[in-house]
A and B are shown apart, each in its own frame.
Chain A
Amino acid sequence: MGEFVVHRVRFFDYMPSAIRAMAFNGSTQRLAVARGDGAVEIFNFADNYFQEKVIPGRSDRAIEALCWVRGRLFSAGLSGEIIEYDLEKLRPRYSVEAYGGPIWTISSNSQETLLGVGCEDGTVKMFEILEERIQFQRNLDRQKGRIISLSWHPSGAQIAAGMIDMIRIFDAETGKSTLKRSSQNRTAPKTHVVVWSVAFLSNDTVISGDSAGKVQIWDAVTGTLIRNHLITKWDVLGLAVSQDESSVIAGTSEGTVVQFQALASTMGQENNQWVRTRTFKNHTHDVRALVHTDTAVVSGGMDTQLVVRPLLDKVEKNTQESALRKILFPHKSLVCCARKAGLLLFQFPDHLELWRLGESRQAGDRLPVMKNPEKLIQLQNKGEDHICCSAVSPCGSWVAFSTVSSVRLYKLQLSNGNISIKKMLLRAFSAFLSFPGSSQPIHLLSASENGNWLAAANTDGQIHVFNLHKLKVSSYLFLHCTLPVYSSCPTAIAIHPTTGHLLSAHADQQIFEFSLKLKEYTAWSRSLQREGLHPLWLQRDTPITHIAFNRNKPAHVFLHDAFMFCIIDQSLPLPQARKKLYNQMDLKTISPQKRMQESHAFKICKMFQHLLSIHLLDDSSLVVVERPLADIVSQLPPPVRQKKFAT
């Protein structure tokens, strides 16, 4: 596989934002995640948990709650507006002011006709969901104190609201408050108890989680407390109910998720009791958002990780389904490399950074840095919108980025230490890409090195190749060919600089190679499909986010995900499914003869962890951008204090 000079870059201070809210749409298997910076991410749980869409945030948008209504996504936040998102153009479609101060919670009834929001001023406002917009219908009885949480009865006739020190149940028809339950802290009456979360079940049971660390089960008819579970010394921040209402999970400030199950006390009896069962500890900080899918517990919080924890009684054991997944990094590359100039462009939500790589002249295993890497430019974005994508040209003289509303292009001039930057004016777009038969957003673009081809992929899995050569002649993009649609979404595409093959990697870890000349899959791709990929390769849980090629060795393809990078040597035989898939470190330990026998096309290196990007420079040195998890953790606020045994 050859040896490379590796730039091990750790100066990209990428910091993911905390997860604030989540909503799961069971019919489309999509999970919407709202982050602290206002960004909304859509994960496709049917397609290997791939992050297929990202709606960039705004500095003034603080989302508190998310809600799916028949494939439409609504959010509400402390700005006091309800926003519906356009999931095709990846931007807010419209926003409606609720005129009730900051909104803490949003919830739709099961008939999906009404949207209830809980406001700071103590009102529950009802919005009617129309085809194109939402319309204010009426207020329920105004209460003293803010409405923190809302939950509809599945019949839609009643709505439970969690407030400070109390839970109220409203009649949805009349808007009258029917029942009030004080959940005040009896042991310390001075302190207020915030009911962070309520859940209204169909058998007239209300479950509440509050800041006293208790999960309480109430009878909604009589308003009596049925059972009280003290699960933490700190707050219970979120609750989520399974579809069949047999299981409830509660997230706490300690980072634990506690499961409660309704179980019959003896076999064959009807009266189910809510019993605390399992405790999951996958977070170090507050668990702010929870989703209970049919087979898994999905949790996210302050520590920015999205954790999918399968319930082992619901899935088959020892399958890919039963493995714990942690989603740490975005499933797209935030790093762009100017491979001729040796520059790196890092994308942050509100600015870009351009760095020049360091240098070293010595030879050996570990090279000392002779010249430190240097930050050339920090390009601040104007306005509230966050940057959604960015690029630097291979020669390093052009930098472009875009927000939801605009595209900006800058020309850089680097002449012996002097840097000058010039904003270029863009003419109105002369050419539009249009995908026939699909309105889904394009999430991947890749141009060939010679500038002849442009490949584009959308989240429907379509990949189109356009001929850029003819762009100079007419201002119309000529569609060269369309690849057969594969069921899984492509996560990275690239066009080979010499052979002109299009390589695509998909969310289910499949790899295809398509010849643009012959407009068909190449022989290598066919043999790969015939023999199948190695099971270990298919069991990886992060998608391939970047594909690169080596100019000197055309048969080599560079791929990487968050935990490994791999060079596929297309000239070598494919690995057998039965055999062990050695990685390079293991290969070094076995004898040379055996190494020859074991050598196969997939050369995997796990030396670098938490990889954000890998690029090959023109001088055949490799740039590896890592972001160690410890660095992210060190930037998080300190977690709540917990007594540990023997400390």
Chain B
Amino acid sequence: MVEHGDVRVVHKGGSKINFREPALSTDSRFLLCASGESVKVFSTATEECLHALQGHTDLITGVLLRPSNHLQAYSCSLDGTVRLWDFTDGILIRTYSIGYPIYELFQLVAVHLPQCGEQLVEAKELSAVLSNISSNPAASAFGREVRIFRCLEVYFFKNFFLKKDNQKGGKNTFTCITCHPTEDCIASGHEDGKIRLWRNFNHRKEYTYSTLHWHHSAVSSLRFTPEGTNLLSGGVESVLVQWRYNQESQRDFLPRLGGAITHISVSPDGALFCTSHSDNKITIIQSCVKVSAVIQGLVKGDRIRTDLMIEPRSKALVLNGKPGHLQFYSLQRDKLLYNLDIVQQEYIHESGLEQFEVVMAAFDASGSWLATVEERKQKAPELELNLKLWAFDDQKQSFVLNTTISAPHEGRITALCFPHVSDGQTTMLVSTSRDGHFKAWQLAAPGFIKFYLILKGPSWSCDFLGAYHSLVPECCCFSADSSLLAVGFQEVVTVWTPASWELLTTLSQPPGAVRDLCFGRLSCSKYLLGATTSRLLCCWNLLTCSLEWVTSMDVSLLLADPLSENMAAFCFEAGSTDLFVFKPGEPRPLFSHKALCSGRVTHAVFVPREVMLESCDEASQWLNCSHLYFLTQSMDLLTFITKAEEDKLTASSKQLVVSDDVAMTPFHLLLGKHRDQLENPQAESRLSVEPIRQPSSSAGINELLQMPAHVLPSASFLCSMFVQSLLISKEEEMESEKEEEDSDGEMESRISRPEHMPSGESGCAAPALTKEEVRELRRLKKLDHSWMKGLLD
């Protein structure tokens, strides 16, 4: 057994961004939010993640701006440290080690943070401010000046009223609390949707409160604006309510925010609000109650019906997103790409209503086809099923519905599988169902004419219907070269040839129905692996049609890496899940990790890496081609990271510098593109060529933009000049043309060069030569060296 020495399970990509309240920077330009084990810094204007502050080794449980320095922020984590960051540059300034897992960071950090210059500081002075308060982080807030006093008061209220509630059986339990920034007023949200504004609480007895009631169910978050003029509240209704302080009958609503509001935060200058939503989303709202940006994380419902999949084209992770949608999530950029509406029906937000759900989806190997299954179950016999096939449209860069097959099977579909055809078009899909059949669907040729009806493109229709002794098929799998199809009929695995639909052989290993089937890849493609319900993992050799080996483990998920021979098996053992990575042909597992997480892992995926890793370490070798992502029962997306990789990341994060022009204005788009065009070729040759010449036009444009509008001449006068300045001068153009020619084909350039040479030499030799050299250098730089990489590999 290989120990999992330097391979660690981390939250990386697709983690919750709504876990704790985000923090807005003082100038409202940045949004800091805890996301897994890093703090992400988003630009509030462009929704882009600027960088991630990495360094914590466990879940981050709070982010807070440093009150004394608005360019620094604290973060706390379950790993027992509080870290101080310069978030604009992404530099870790200091680490305070507390020694206990920290669940929530207060404004007045309860731990006295010693002011030392050292990088790593041990903080041992713990002062217990509050004990016995609710573990819900929303249920605590600090007020203006006399914080300790105030929070004791709050504590008093809480205790007192919770006691009272129990007697009456009322539903006015506290859910959240906040303090007015300038006045003696505490706002509390309650389970029954009421907001109470407590006043006069400095006198123990004569406190008084007023009640505001708009929410119909529990108020989940409350916040005062920095001036204290408005109170913001949110709840399950996904409506942000803005109450005028002292004019409570006037309120503004921002409805249809899409998901239940979990946190509200307000920027210190009051210009922006931001709300976190239960569907892993942060909405940035301008103070005029207008949505200005939406930062969407990986949407996680309470469960995932489809598997985790990788879209072959964009390498995006695909799974259930919004109801009736598939989401395409880029793990590299940690960003939601888009949602694909599968059901194409209005989703009605009503509990107890049965609606169509996407339950299954599959991509073919080239990513040009997507098959989805949606079902609606009203009553057991009235199952409604739709099989939809989507073709990738190159123009739209999205999937377009090609065929809808209503009621493809009589029972629930258990598996969906495309063959792995590496070249050419996929023309086949296999689906298995509880009705005892498996069906092969074929892409039919176009041109079917029925009087006036001409089918415009190819569409899918049923080609073959297979069954085996009226047993129920549970899973199916194509071999790596797609010459074989294995279908698991309970205890029996049948192997078919898709070319002629002949039953080649049956394999069986009773007792216990086969749950997962998987063909080996590359050198191990002769092996077929199956996991059974009787806690066995079997490996058959298809050449000999015999059992190669069998081992006893309760495999909940069996997975093959598409880029290597490796296979991953998640085994459920004593309440937690273990992971084994192995090659079917080798007796020893490559990697094993005991007690990965509690509960069963039912969804996992191998994500191909963009850049292959060249780790020689035995334990981490299996991670060279792909990442392995898996989803725990608590809907956390976790992955493995090697030590080397981690070191590289932390090293690079310290050098990151935020570019000044984060704001993405239309002008920036215009100028930025222009500048990029100019800069990029130079940037590559930065080291070799003379210092970069600033684009001649940029000074003029800057002048144009910085001049006050009223002193400028009319726009029509400026327009031609402006456009002129954007154009590339003729000489430059010629040069670039030449360069293009050069790069296009060496043959041509060789022919053309002699013609040019004399003219250059006849002029002035020395500068021409250097010019030639420069050109040559540029050409070399521009050349594609990827073929060399291929050779080296």
Residues of A within 8 A of B (CB): 227-231, 261, 263-267, 273, 275-279, 313-314, 645-646
Given the complex, which residues of B lie within 8 Å of A277, measured CB to CB?
Answer: 199, 208-210
Given the complex, which residues of A lie within 8 Å of B183, measured CB to CB?
Answer: 265-266
Given the complex, which residues of A lie within 8 Å of B210, measured CB to CB?
Answer: 275-279
Flag if B248 contacts A276 (CB, 8 Å): yes
- Min C-beta distance of B161 to chain A, whole Å: 12
Q: Which residue from chain B places its CB closest to the CB of A213 in the assembled complex?
A: B249
With known contacts A229-B249, A277-B199, A645-B216, A266–B184 Cβ distance under 8 A: yes
**Interface residues as binary, B244-262 with A (CB distance below 8 Å gives 1, 0 otherwise):** 0011111000000000000
Q: Does B200 contact A (CB under 8 A)?
A: yes
With known contacts A266-B184, A267-B184, A278–B249 Cβ distance under 8 A: no
Given the complex, which residues of B lie within 8 Å of A263, measured CB to CB?
Answer: 199-200, 208
Flag if B246 contacts A278 (CB, 8 Å): no
Q: Does B634 contact A (CB under 8 A)?
A: no
Q: Does B211 contact A (CB under 8 A)?
A: yes
Shortest beta-carbon contacts, A-B, top 3: A230-B249, A265-B183, A277-B210
Flag if A267 contacts B202 (CB, 8 Å): yes
Q: Give 21 pairs: A residue, B residue, CB < 8 Å, sorted on A.
A: A230-B249, A261-B200, A261-B208, A263-B199, A263-B200, A265-B182, A265-B184, A266-B182, A266-B183, A266-B184, A267-B184, A275-B199, A275-B210, A276-B210, A277-B199, A278-B208, A278-B210, A313-B205, A313-B208, A645-B216, A646-B216
Given the complex, which residues of B lie within 8 Å of A227, measured CB to CB?
Answer: 246
CA distance A267 to B211 in the complex (A): 21
Flag if B211 contacts A279 (CB, 8 Å): yes
Flag if B184 contacts A313 (CB, 8 Å): no
Given the complex, which residues of B lie within 8 Å of A229, measured CB to CB?
Answer: 247, 249
- Min C-beta distance of B685 to chain A, whole Å: 64
Q: Which residue from chain B places its CB closest to the CB of A233 in the assembled complex?
A: B249
Number of contacting residues on B, CB 8 A?
Answer: 20
Q: Which residue from chain B places its CB closest to the CB of A231 in the assembled complex?
A: B249
CA distance A572 to B216 in the complex (A): 54
Flag if B207 contacts A273 (CB, 8 Å): no
CA distance A123 to B181 in the complex (A): 49
Flag if B200 contacts A278 (CB, 8 Å): no
CA distance A229 to B248 in the complex (A): 8
Flag if A273 contacts B200 (CB, 8 Å): no
Q: Which residue from chain A places its CB closest to the CB of B228 in the assembled complex?
A: A265
Interface residues of B in 198-254 (CB under 8 A from A): 199-200, 202, 205-211, 216, 246-250
CA distance A228 to B199 in the complex (A): 19
- Min C-beta distance of B200 to chain A, whole Å: 5
Q: Which residue from chain A places its CB closest to the CB of B146 in the assembled complex?
A: A267
Given the complex, which residues of B lie within 8 Å of A230, measured CB to CB?
Answer: 247, 249-250
Residues of B within 8 A of A (CB): 182-185, 199-200, 202, 205-211, 216, 246-250
Given the complex, which residues of A lie within 8 Å of B206, measured CB to CB?
Answer: 313-314
Question: Which label, helix, strand, loop or mixed, suits the secondary structure of the A interface?
Answer: strand
CA distance A646 to B350 in the complex (A): 14
With known contacts A230-B249, A263-B199, A278–B184 Cβ distance under 8 A: no
Flag if A275 contacts B246 (CB, 8 Å): yes
- Min C-beta distance of A217 to chain B, whole Å: 11
CA distance A116 to B74 in the complex (A): 68
Given the complex, which residues of B lie within 8 Å of A273, measured CB to CB?
Answer: 246
Name B211's contact: one of A278, A313, A646 (CB within 8 Å): A278
With known contacts A263-B199, A266-B183, A267-B184, A278–B209 Cβ distance under 8 A: yes
Given the complex, which residues of A lie within 8 Å of B246, measured CB to CB?
Answer: 227, 273, 275
CA distance A646 to B193 in the complex (A): 14
Q: Which residue from chain B places its CB closest to the CB of A230 in the assembled complex?
A: B249
Given the complex, which residues of A lie within 8 Å of B202, measured CB to CB?
Answer: 267
Q: Which residue from chain A places its CB closest to the CB of B164 in the assembled complex?
A: A317
CA distance A275 to B247 in the complex (A): 9
Given the complex, which residues of B lie within 8 Å of A279, measured CB to CB?
Answer: 210-211
* Apart from the given pairs A229-B247, A646-B216, 8 other A-B contacts in the complex at a CB distance below 8 Å: A263-B200, A266-B183, A275-B199, A276-B210, A277-B208, A277-B210, A279-B210, A314-B206
Q: Which residue from chain B places its CB closest to the CB of A267 in the assembled complex?
A: B202
Which of B207, B208, B209 has the largest count of A CB atoms less than 10 A from its CB? B208
- Min C-beta distance of B441 to chain A, whole Å: 47
Given the complex, which residues of B lie within 8 Å of A266, measured CB to CB?
Answer: 182-184
CA distance A646 to B250 in the complex (A): 21
Given the complex, which residues of B lie within 8 Å of A265, measured CB to CB?
Answer: 182-185
CA distance A439 to B189 in the complex (A): 58
- Min C-beta distance of B193 to chain A, whole Å: 10
CA distance A230 to B183 in the complex (A): 22
Q: Which residue from chain A places its CB closest to the CB of B199 in the assembled complex?
A: A263
Given the complex, which residues of B lie within 8 Å of A275, measured CB to CB?
Answer: 199, 210, 246
- Min C-beta distance of A500 to chain B, whole Å: 49
Q: Which residue from chain B places its CB closest to the CB of A268 in the assembled complex?
A: B202
CA distance A443 to B207 in the complex (A): 43
- Min C-beta distance of B187 to chain A, whole Å: 13
CA distance A276 to B199 in the complex (A): 11
CA distance A172 to B25 in the complex (A): 60
CA distance A233 to B248 in the complex (A): 14
CA distance A441 to B307 in the complex (A): 89
- Min C-beta distance of A409 to chain B, whole Å: 55
- Min C-beta distance of A22 to chain B, whole Å: 24
CA distance A266 to B184 in the complex (A): 5
Given the complex, which residues of A lie within 8 Å of B208, measured CB to CB?
Answer: 261, 263, 277-278, 313
- Min C-beta distance of A144 to chain B, whole Å: 32
CA distance A277 to B182 in the complex (A): 19
Flag if A264 contacts B205 (CB, 8 Å): no
- Min C-beta distance of B282 to chain A, whole Å: 29
- Min C-beta distance of A233 to chain B, whole Å: 10
Given the complex, which residues of A lie within 8 Å of B247, measured CB to CB?
Answer: 228-230
Which of A229, A231, A276, A279 has the largest count of B CB atoms less than 10 A from its CB? A276
CA distance A276 to B209 in the complex (A): 9
CA distance A228 to B246 in the complex (A): 9
- Min C-beta distance of B511 to chain A, whole Å: 55
- Min C-beta distance of A268 to chain B, whole Å: 9
- Min C-beta distance of A166 to chain B, whole Å: 23
CA distance A265 to B206 in the complex (A): 15
CA distance A646 to B207 in the complex (A): 33
Given the complex, which residues of A lie within 8 Å of B185, measured CB to CB?
Answer: 265
- Min C-beta distance of B182 to chain A, whole Å: 7
CA distance A147 to B209 in the complex (A): 35
CA distance A231 to B210 in the complex (A): 12
CA distance A413 to B119 in the complex (A): 111
Q: Which residue from chain B places its CB closest to the CB of A273 in the assembled complex?
A: B246
CA distance A277 to B208 in the complex (A): 7
CA distance A266 to B205 in the complex (A): 17
- Min C-beta distance of B43 to chain A, whole Å: 37
CA distance A228 to B250 in the complex (A): 11
With known contacts A267-B184, A273-B246, A313–B207 Cβ distance under 8 A: yes
- Min C-beta distance of B421 to chain A, whole Å: 56
- Min C-beta distance of A292 to chain B, whole Å: 14
CA distance A231 to B246 in the complex (A): 12
- Min C-beta distance of B688 to chain A, whole Å: 67
Which of B210, B216, B247 has the largest count of A CB atoms less than 10 A from its CB? B210
- Min C-beta distance of B467 to chain A, whole Å: 52
- Min C-beta distance of A261 to chain B, whole Å: 6
CA distance A261 to B210 in the complex (A): 10
Q: Which residue from chain B places its CB closest to the CB of A279 in the assembled complex?
A: B211
CA distance A229 to B250 in the complex (A): 10
Given the complex, which residues of B lie within 8 Å of A228, measured CB to CB?
Answer: 247
CA distance A277 to B246 in the complex (A): 10
Given the complex, which residues of A lie within 8 Å of B216, measured CB to CB?
Answer: 645-646
- Min C-beta distance of B676 to chain A, whole Å: 54
CA distance A264 to B208 in the complex (A): 12
CA distance A333 to B199 in the complex (A): 46
CA distance A263 to B246 in the complex (A): 12
CA distance A264 to B183 in the complex (A): 9
Given the complex, which residues of A lie within 8 Å of B200, measured CB to CB?
Answer: 261, 263
- Min C-beta distance of A266 to chain B, whole Å: 5
Q: Which residue from chain A places its CB closest to the CB of B249 in the assembled complex?
A: A230
